[in-house]
Amino acid sequence: MNYVQFYYPEGFAHCYGCGRLNPEGHQFKTYWDPEKRESRTEFTPKPYHTAIPGFVYGGLLASLVDCHSTATGSAALKELESTPWDQGPYPRCVTASLEVQFLKPTPLGPTLVAVGRVLERSERKVVVGTEVYADGVLTVKGKAVVVRIPEGWGG
């Protein structure tokens, strides 16, 4: 299964968090399950993504929630189109608002799993709820408002 970011137009694929064309970035990859209507991004932080030794830097976790949310929004808006989910391009969203709750320290080492759900959707705006798990333990919760990039912004 291809990931959401795979379907972004080239001009929208340079994001430091999730741009597939940014070799210096994290290149987060988000998978959308059209039946469960759930998104999933897995990422294994590098040893230097440290807050205090042994724990993941919160800014990285916020980035994960951020890009995971824009991808989830993108998939949710793609559902409104008549083209199949595995045919690009996907609509591209930017983040209007991002809330992150750090519930517990996130251990550095395990692969992190972000799971997203669509809380609200209109033609232009999607509200996404995300939970991030480390070794099956919920450590971070996020909520983001993402908005479809206005026409003419590039891509």
Ligand X SMILES: CCCCC/C=C\C/C=C\C/C=C\C/C=C\CCCC(=O)SCCNC(=O)CCNC(=O)[C@H](O)C(C)(C)COP(=O)(O)OP(=O)(O)OC[C@H]1O[C@@H](n2cnc3c(N)ncnc32)[C@H](O)[C@@H]1OP(=O)(O)O
Q: Can you tell me which residue has the tokens 């998978």? A: 31
Q: Does 140 bind ligand X (CB under 6 A)?
A: no
Cα 45 from chain centroid (whole Å): 15
Residue 96 sits in the site that holds ligand X (CB under 6 A) = yes
CB of 84 or CB of 150, closer to ligand X: 150
Alpha-carbon distance of 140 to 148, in angstroms, equals 25
Q: Which tokens sit at 1? A: 């299964």
Place of tokens 């033609």: 123
User: Please, which residues bridge with residue 100 across strands?
Assistant: 142
Nearer to ligand X, 37 or 125 (CB): 125
Instruction: Kindly state whether residue 71 participates in binding ligand X, applying the rule CB under 6 A.
Output: no
Task: Using alpha carbons only, give the angle 129, 142, 59 rounded to the nearest 5 degrees.
Answer: 145
CA-based diameter of the chain, in Å?
48
Does 61 engage in binding with ligand X (CB under 6 A)? no
Here's the x/- map for ligand X, 13-42, by CB under 6 A: it reads as: --x-x-------------------------
Q: Which stretch binds ligand X (CB under 6 A): 24-32, 46-54, 64-72, 78-86?
A: 64-72
Binding site for ligand X (CB under 6 A): 12, 15, 17, 66-67, 70, 92, 94-97, 122, 124-125, 145, 147, 149-150, 153-154
